[in-house]
Chain A
Amino acid sequence: MKRIVYLLPLALFFVLVGYFLISLRPGHDTHELPSAMLQKPAPSFDLADLGDDNKLALAGLKGHPVIVNFFASWCVPCRIEHPLLMRLSQQDHLPLYGVAYKDKPEDAARLLATYGDPFRQVGLDQDGRVGLDFGVYGVPETYVIDANGIIRKRFVGPLTAEAVEKDLMPLLKQLEPSS
């Protein structure tokens, strides 16, 4: 009995070590929050399109899974993920849709003209209202919405090749087994 009591601090120490191992593991961002919107219907939106008169609306996206990327021309991490988005759209032909979050139309257009446009369509969310409805708290954020309009996955911060490989591709495959 006494011996067990003496071992208690050691046991507590290992609990702490376990906690640190989990929360300090490489690539873990303590600022990243679990999304409250996962597995829930995506908030409805109907955004003016950048460029033409079409609208980017949730209703128009239903029927097949899509990837919605919130970006902005003023956002530095967005530049980091941009080449990856280009690759996903050009090589993998993924259904990428962009939402220019709190951005001026001319700035967003200039960004896409300079670095390439990976999006099938870009909606303008100038007052950040749609971002607020999605629970966006910093661009870039990327959402996977399935054919029924349910949010299946959220990526906070720039997409990485690793996240695409490990999470995005398997999820898309699962959502659309035919392709």
Chain B
Amino acid sequence: MRTLILCMVLLLGALPAGAVEPRERLADPALEARARTISGELRCLVCQNESIDESGADLAHDIRILVRERLTAGDTDAQTIQAVVNRYGAFVLLKPPVEPATYVLWFGPPTLVLAGLVGTAIWLHRRQAAPADTAPLTSDESRRLAGLLRDNEG
């Protein structure tokens, strides 16, 4: 039982590791935390849907080192990210920037949903409005209808 509890406690401690190797880590915990945040936002170009923080690829390792070098040298987060973007292009950003080239990406889906909603609203409105176009029965017609119904019952 004690072994089991020990195992579980150890497992809990093992969760948030990522791919960052111990020798990559910076001594300063604040800098290291910034490096981890930045790494989580940068795409690994070899395994394209992983961030460099998660990826075990060689290139991801190199970029993690580059990020830490820049931070140690006193760069801001934005400058560090820019240094990587300068080399690899905006594609390395897992969250793409809002710029003319990405307008379709950012605003396309909401626009489609909006167009769908407006279309549905128009359609529903028309369907409700349609019966109002038919004129109400004249007194003559109502009398005939009542007669028909009576015949049917009888």
Contact = CB atoms under 8 A, between A and B. Distances in A.
Interface of A: 31, 33-37, 102, 128, 132-135, 137-138
Main secondary structure of the interface of B (DSSP, over half): helix
Query: Size range of the interface on B?
Result: 10 to 19
A173 B148 CA distance: 94
Contacts of B58: 102, 128
B66 interface: yes
Contact of A128 (B62, B85, B88, B91): B62
A135 B88 contact: yes
Nearest to A135: B87
Contacts of B87: 36-37, 132-135
Given A132-B66, A137-B46, A34 B89 contact: yes
Given A128-B62, A137-B59, A35 B89 contact: yes
B63 interface: yes
Main DSSP-derived SS at the A contact region = loop
A135 B85 CA distance: 9
Q: Which 10 A-B pairs have the closest CB atoms?
A: A36-B89, A137-B45, A135-B87, A135-B88, A132-B62, A33-B91, A128-B62, A137-B59, A36-B88, A34-B89
A155 B46 CA distance: 16
5 contacts: A132-B87, A133-B87, A135-B87, A135-B88, A137-B45
Nearest to A40: B86
B37 interface: no
A33 B89 contact: yes
Contact of B46 (A133, A134, A138): A138
A102 B87 CA distance: 18
Nearest to B59: A137
B48 interface: yes
Contacts of B66: 132
Nearest to B90: A36
A127 to B, nearest CB: 8
Nearest to A129: B62
Interface centre among A36, A128, A138 (most CB of B within 10 A): A36
A37 B48 CA distance: 19
Contacts of A138: 45-46, 59
Contacts of A133: 87
Nearest to B88: A135
Contacts of A36: 85-90
B108 to A, nearest CB: 12
A51 B89 CA distance: 35
Interface in B49-96: 58-59, 62-63, 66, 85-91
